[in-house]
Amino acid sequence: MTDVAERVWFPSTSGPKLAGVVDHPAAPVRGWGVFSHGFTLGKESPAASRICKQLASEGIGMLRFDNVGLGDSEGDWGDGSFSHKVADTAQAVRFMNESGREVRLVVGHSFGGAAVIAAAHHVDSVRAVVSIGAPYQPGHVEHNYDALVERCLADGEAPFLIGGKALTLRRHFIEDVRAADLHEQIRTLHRALLVMHSPTDNTVGIANASEIFRAARHPRSFVSLEGADHLLTGRNQAKRAARIISAWADPYLADQ
């Protein structure tokens, strides 16, 4: 297992600097990728850190980063939106590409899984996309804050406590995520897609994976992460997912 982690900063598309970690690949280097974390999670969440470290140990270097206002990144989470998350995921790919580490693979967990599908449209280098426990429509995240929606729409914002984090939910976030339509983004992806989902996911139901897979064109693949919870916190769940991604992505990593 590689332990070489490089701390990096790069500008978000809205201004604040984003904090990231590049998990350097073990030799031989097979390729490079970017990981997009779940709704309010971060680069140190179990899914992000364990998957990226495992991929790095198998020769695929990965950048994982905190979205605006989360973890070590600058800014206010409440100023962001799904559109910002998509744009900043594409920005992360460009940052890697400009440093000479051309990204062929993007991996996203949960809300980040929806984001990487949309972001891939903005970066030509990406050839392979992986969604893990992703919602078919980004608006699915509303279940996290449904009790706040009316107040937020009326007042413009509302305090939002999730996972021990005190955040601000703003009207533009709700309106932006409701307007996002992933179906067309999936249908016109024109890249290899791997859909991974647990049949016992109680946060984002398995039906979401069926919808994503149905909307996708070939080459498309589906892997059931049986026994896993949504956050992949169980022993070896993230590592297993990473090993599958590593094998699946292999044809798309090399120069063509």
Give the model's pLDDT for residue 78: 86
Share of the chain above pLDDT 70, in %: 98
Sign of the CA dihedral running 31, 96, 102, 82? positive
Give the model's pLDDT for residue 3: 63
Asked if residue 198 lies in contact with residue 228, where contact means CB atoms within 8 angstroms, the answer is yes
The pair of three-digit structure tokens given for residue 241, joined into one six-digit string: 């997912």
Give the model's pLDDT for residue 161: 87
Which residues make beta-bridge pairs with 197? 224
The pair of three-digit structure tokens given for residue 48, joined into one six-digit string: 């992000």
Give the model's pLDDT for residue 254: 79
Residue 253: which of 84, 38, 28 has the closest Cα? 28
- CA 49 – CA 250 distance, rounded (Å): 21
Give the model's pLDDT for residue 256: 53
Sign of the CA dihedral running 231, 68, 22, 250? positive
Q: What is each CA distance from 45 to 13, 72, 109, 190, in whole angstroms? A: 23, 13, 10, 30
Residue 109: which of 40, 188, 166, 53 has the closest Cα? 40
Classify residue 156 as exposed, middle or buried by CB count within 10 Å of its CB (0-12, 13-18, 19+): exposed
Q: What is the pTM of this model?
A: 0.96
Task: Provide the residue type at 20 as one letter.
Answer: G
Give the model's pLDDT for residue 1: 46
Asked if residue 209 lies in contact with residue 194, where contact means CB atoms within 8 angstroms, the answer is no
Give the model's pLDDT for residue 165: 83
Long-range own/partner contacts, residues 92-95 (CB < 8 A, 24 or more apart) = 92/10, 92/18, 92/20, 92/34, 92/36, 92/63, 92/65, 93/34, 93/119, 93/123, 93/125, 93/126, 94/123, 95/8, 95/10, 95/20, 95/63
* CA dihedral of residues 233, 253, 196, 26 (deg, nearest 10): -20
- The per-residue pLDDT string of the chain (256 residues; one tens digit each, 9 = 90 and over) reads 446 899 999 999 999 999 999 999 988 999 999 999 999 999 999 999 999 999 999 999 999 999 999 999 999 998 999 999 999 999 999 999 999 999 999 999 999 999 999 999 999 999 999 999 999 998 899 988 888 988 999 999 999 888 788 889 999 999 999 999 999 999 999 999 999 999 999 999 999 999 999 999 999 999 999 999 999 999 899 999 999 999 999 999 977 5
CB-CB neighbours of 131 under 10 Å: 31
